[in-house]
Structure 1
């Protein structure tokens, strides 16, 4: 329904215009009438009409003057001029102001209706065009957000990543310094969804004024802003204060903002995010300082040094110094159990990915399966289970690193699993083919790999399932058959136990 405002200083003409057309039949409604330009401007501000029908000659302010002032505030309104004056000067000025139709009084109903329908068609096309633009913008923003999320997770963007970064509209990340704003809604664990959406709307509306900014929602009540350029700290503080004050003014909610140190490359985003999030958790929410910068003060530096002994841990693991590793894990445990589960998952992924790349448990130059690791970490739904997973993986990597060469029989068993995981592979049949007893194969396999025969086969099949589920043409039951499970219900149960979600839920998360 398009809203129409009628403006004329003669009462009987206003009444005639209101009654001469069956407005509702044509998806139109008379939202208001005004007798002069000043009243019309007030109604335009209040009603935001789609179409204005106005006389030219009115007391105090002409229709053209009224249109000129209104167009500066409401540029999308369509204007139709009705006048008893047919002079060319009026028509010429009306065209300059964007008036699309100029009709002379007295106007016949069918003539006015034809003009109104033309305006309605234009408005409908304009609305479709705006929706298309919004969809494209949303799609482009989603691509940019996904790109930054992958960088935050530590996933290298691959070959010619600078060109790809520019192609998705993030060329500003390649110039100047990068900063992260970690925005946390105060009391987000107890606030309802409507409050979160209100804060997010204000946040995104304000950020639309900035060019070199991309925002992503991390979790309920938590957002991350990536900013670029060469802004000095005063400008960053001003931006953070605007965010804080606008959110408080329009939503009555408070947020806490932690600004990261400066980074010089998009490849540093993972480190910046990890440090900023850990520092936010370490320092906690502060009513006195809702906006803080991550600076290397003595207290913070000590904390960061304690939480980042990754280089030492890698050296201990490479050197087989198991006692040092166990001592460090015991020291880590109390603090780990106090972490928020989502943050701990990201921490585990960051550390295990980096450690695996440096330890090189498999063939040289083969990167670890990060997708499988990510899903296995996501499947740990309790902080204690996640800690056990982390400890077990560390010990498994040490074992893999320092075993005295893979036994020939175990290499054959592993090769068969990697190639024939879609078949019915049993410990007894493999042992028979290798001419050894099942008991000996079971013990040797656990000794050489650190896991049982069945557990390793499950990991191989689940990793293959992750790859196959990315193909939208394959049904879940087809994936089940392709990874060696004839009963799809059994496959779904094992997949959910391993990754914390069903195959269909995982596929839905990819969309």
Structure 2
């Protein structure tokens, strides 16, 4: 766990943070803040669990600090320290769920006891959140979505190991085994078009329920709607159904589903059924065959129940698989997963070499899709392939020379991929530099206002944690350090170049309390603002 100690008395903060055996309690890191504003900046950038804060501080009290913390994080534990036994402060602290209210100086026993109580409360709360029963409850609530996505991924060709399949089937409560299965694809016909703008999901849900009711007496049923609009059902015979006549049984049940849908939902279905196959290894191939049957055999006809004939439907040329197995190339490019994109391109070329070394059409298919993905990413990023690529690469694309052979396709696509990666890296760096410039410009003009990390993040519409990381990466300096340095530099300039009073300078650089400004200035430079104005040299 991480903790922060907040007090405007620096020696008090340093003593508590540096000279107490916090590690023995399990505290991994102790942060120090010398004002409530500084504490909020640290809370925005670090996963703070426990706050120990003085109650009386300039600019913002400990109670006000807790109020702001509660807006950010309801679970963070707060302990208040005070030099006085003030009932009103204690009452307010308790109202904001402070763990304890201790009088200064607390004994080690009191302080460690309060921190231990805070840690016990945090552990209990997070154990509840992460408890097995809660996880099971959440899993049950989301089971339909999880089951559907698993089947969709498998239909699209995403491969899982046998151990992964066993674990997921068990976790999702799916009574399927590695044995003969069949697929049923259902197409809703045009009568259901009247529901497209209102009620289509309900109709699909009703049909899926009817299918499970009719088929479920004899088979395990696992259904989902896939991207082309088909309702897809994976089926396995139950032991009670026996093995005899399974093809005719499935056709009979399909016709029954057609009849019931027409009777009660006033619409027609067309259905394609596959041969029985080995699950899960043959699942994506059988799905592609069934989809092809709808396109090639059923076509625009209605009220069909057709069984895929494996013998008659073996294509002379198979499809290129590696390019279409999820995640797609364009998704990998958009996510910036460059290594995975390179591996996918390599897999495509390997498949071409192994299966279709002489097929120019397969090479062209891969080339066009790869080029389209590259162009799409370039256009989304605000530039064109023409400006990005060297003359030779662009000419090879325009002439089709890049796709003439598998070797040329591999060389061209990897070359362009690396150029896209370089352009993306430059774009990221330019964007980060723009963020830094905006932050510094805003802070320079609004130093007398709120220039906390959250205010800066809100100004440029970025999360405080991400902004802090970007600024640190680009400048090597934390934002709070930059703001503090800017204020001190501005104070030095105003003290020497103007006749403004110290309290005026304090207000101008963002310190509402002049006494606190004097304290910070002296801690920073070793002399007071007036001593510096009078000629004292800075160390």
What TM-score does the superposition give when structure 2 sets the normalisation length?
0.34
